[in-house]
Structure formats: C-alpha cells, structure tokens
Amino acid sequence: MSLLLSPLTLRGTTFRNRIWLAPMCQYSAADDGLPNDWHLAHLGARAVGGFGLVLTEAAAIVPEGRISPQDVGIWNDDQVAAWHRITDFLRARGARSGIQLAHAGRKASTYRFDEGRGTVPADQGGWTAVGPTADPFAGYDAPHQLSEAEILAVPGQFAAAARRALAAGFDVVEVHAAHGYLLHQFLSPLSNSRTDRWGGDLAARAQLLLDTVDAVRAVLPDTSPLLVRVSATDWTDGGLTGEDTAVVAGWLREHGVDLVDVSTGGNVHASIPVGPGYQVPFARQVRDTGIASGAVGLITTPHQAEKVLSEGEADVVLLGRPALFDPSWPLRAARELGDDTPTLAYHWGTPQVEVLPGQPTGWAAQYARGSWD
Ligand SMILES: Cc1cc2nc3c(=O)[nH]c(=O)nc-3n(C[C@H](O)[C@H](O)[C@H](O)COP(=O)(O)O)c2cc1C
C-alpha cells in the first residue's frame, strides 16, 4: 500500500489516510456565522471522496475575528448545533473532522474577494479590527491596538471555541497561526513592534501562541490531536524565517501540539517563488525538529504527494485548490497508486473491480458486461 493511503495515528486518533483537506474559506455563511447546507455539501463531498481528515475553513472564535462577514464561526451554541449535523455526516463516511479555529486580527472585516478590496465599513456590516499594534495590513483600515487585558482574554476565547468544537463532534482542532492573522501578527516582527512582554524577541512574540496552545490543549481530551497552522516564512527581509519556525515548532511540541501544518506568507505583501510543492522544504524543516508536519501548497498529483511522504518531508499532505474541482482526489489517488478504494457507492469508479471471479477486471470488464445497475 502507498504511504499516502496508509492510516496515521496521532494520540489515540486514527486517520484512514494521509490526504487531508486544507482549510478553505467558502464565503457562504450569512452574517450569523452559521454553517449551512453549502458547508455540509462541500465538506461532505470530500468525506465521500476519501479524505482522511476534512478540515473546515477558518472558523472565527469571536464575531470580530471573522475575516469576512460571510465567514463561519464557533462562538455560540447555534453554531455548535449546525456544525454537529456536518460532523455526524463526516464521521458516517469514515473521515475525521477538524475545525480550524481562527481570529483574523488586523485582517478582519474584509470584503469577500469578489466584492471589493480592503476593509468593509460599519455601514456595510463591517467592524473595527484589532491587532498587536495600530499598524494596518497594507490597504486595510488601522486596527485597534489590543490592550494587555484584551490580549490576556485571547487564549480563553480559543479554549471556549475548542470546547464548543468538541461539543459539535469534531475530532481535531487546528489553531490558525498563519497567513497574517492574529497569532501570526504577534509572531512576526513585521507586524509586532510592541515594547511590552508580548513583543521583542522570538520567545516574547510566540508567547500568545503558546498561551493559546496551552489553553486549548487543556480542554481537549488526551486522545484529541491538536494541530497548528503556521506561516513558516514571511518571504521578506526582517520577517519570520524557516529557522525561526523550526524553533517555534520545538516549543509547540513541548506544549502538546501533535502536528504542524506548514504554510507560508500572508502577513505582508511579498514576492513568493510559487511553484510545485514550493512550501514542502519548510514542512521538512519543521519535521526535522521531531514533530509531525503537514505539507501544503501546489501538491497536485498522487505521485508527487506520495514522494513528499516517502522522502520523509512530511507526515501528511493537505490539498486545497486541487480538491475544489476534484472532491474525490483521494479515490483517484488510490486508483493511480494501485490501492483499494473503499467507498462502496463509488465501487464502479475504480478499474480494479472484479466483476465475476475469473472474468476480466476493470473498465474493460464493465464495458464487456454492458449492463449498469
Ligand atoms: C478559496 C480558498 C480559501 C482558503 N481559506 C483558507 C482558510 O480558511 N484557512 C487557511 O489556513 N488557509 C486557507 N486557504 C489556503 C489553503 O488552505 C492552502 O494552504 C492553499 O490554497 C495552498 O494549497 P493548494 O495549492 O493545495 O491550494 C484558502 C485557499 C483557497 C484557495
């Protein structure tokens, strides 16, 4: 069997394979942050399509932590009930379910990508964003600088969201500390020039992330894996580097994180050398510190993904855009790599099926048989 289709166990939780759905905003909630039929169909189709872990898009831990007004959330009990319907479906289809807990910080209250650029004003349903300082993300309104008391509240907000995630039936929680959102804003010297204990050297800038991880870990059962998504580099002089992130990964491991999901960028406008698997070396750098890692970013073919795992660069791959138009990517990968595809209802999609003992197998056999149920 390929590594890609092999199960993986983190803590007491086993994933049926190492092909995970990357978190992707759907911009499809009303302004109440409730997941709806779209999210059920979108996430459910990927569970049916064979993903080992189906991760939700960034789910805001507080209303002002949404990226756009159309984001989902996990800040109240109505959302718990709505998510439960979805996690029930994912579990019934053999997938593990994960929720990405997010606070957008100074990049909150932005337009859906097709509706505009920059900050949505209050009279259009927007709100004032918050950040480590009042420095804005270029092109956005200046955020409110968080006070000491407001910073101290953040880990508890993540923990309360994690508690709700458990109540909603999620198997896994991922803390979003990437892409220029609040926790990344604190981590990066490009967005954190605070002169109190939350700013300064890497340890001070990582404190809010580590406090958040501690608070979330404390509410999760021992058998629930905790993931953290990071942006390994800011791709900018003076910003976070892969070496910094390797140090942070070591701290995350000591604080009970089970896997680091390694992305890059998003905190400042930067020129990024995008190409096939361009973020994979950062996943390796993290993995070399002794913690499991996930590789993401332009991993598009099953053989490419298998190579990432077989060369020891990461423990899992996450797919974003390739999964949008190909929700059954894992089933297709299994076919291409010669593994079994276990989904009964899609049995006839695989060429390895044996129609009758001793008869030709695969597509040829189906056509030879000439009859379809
Ligand atoms: C439409 C869309 C929405 C995204 N939303 C999120 C998100 O909510 N959280 C996150 O961490 N990354 C998000 N991403 C980034 C993806 O998770 C992934 O890291 C990125 O697309 C690169 O992987 P890919 O080349 O497989 O698409 C989003 C990407 C896309 C295309």
In ligand 1, which atom is closest to the CA atom of 298?
Answer: 25
Rounded to the nearest whole angstrom, what is the distance from the C-alpha of residue 319 to the centroid of ligand 1?
Answer: 8
Segment holding 60, helix H or strand E: strand 53-60
- CB of 220 within 8 A of CB of 170? no
Output the CA 238–ligand 1 centroid distance in Å. Answer: 25
Q: In this predicted structure, what is the pLDDT of residue 367?
A: 46
Per CATH, the homologous superfamily of domain 8-340 is Aldolase class I (3.20.20.70)
pLDDT at res. 369: 46
Question: What's the pLDDT score for residue 350?
Answer: 60
pLDDT on residue 345: 72
pLDDT attached to residue 358 = 58
pLDDT at 335: 87
Nearest residue (by CA) to ligand 1, atom 2, is 24
The full set of domain ranges for the chain reads 8-340, 342-373
The residue to which tokens 């593994």 are assigned: 339
Compute the radius of gyration of the chain from its Cα atoms.
Answer: 21
pTM (whole model) above 0.75: yes
pLDDT on residue 31: 83
Model pLDDT, residue 33: 98
CA dihedral 167, 170, 174, 176 (to 10 degrees): -60
Evaluate whether 71 touches 39 at the Cβ level (below 8 Å).
no
Q: Quote the pLDDT of residue 338.
A: 86
Hey, which residues are catalytic here? 181
CB-count burial class (<10 Å; 0-12, 13-18, 19+) for 346: middle
Beta carbons of 131 and 185 less than 8 angstroms apart: yes
* Residues with pLDDT less than 50, the chain: 354-356, 363-373
Pocket test for ligand 1, best of 24, 54, 74, 229 (most atoms within 8 A of CB): 24
Ligand 1 geometric centre to CA of 321 (Å): 7
> In terms of DSSP bridges, do strands 13-15 and 8-10 run parallel, antiparallel, or are they unpaired?
antiparallel
Q: In whole angstroms, give the CA distance from residue 120 to residue 123.
A: 8
User: In the structure, which protein residues have their CB atom closer than 6 angstroms to any atom of ligand 1?
Assistant: 22-25, 57-58, 100, 176, 178-179, 229, 263, 296-298, 319-322
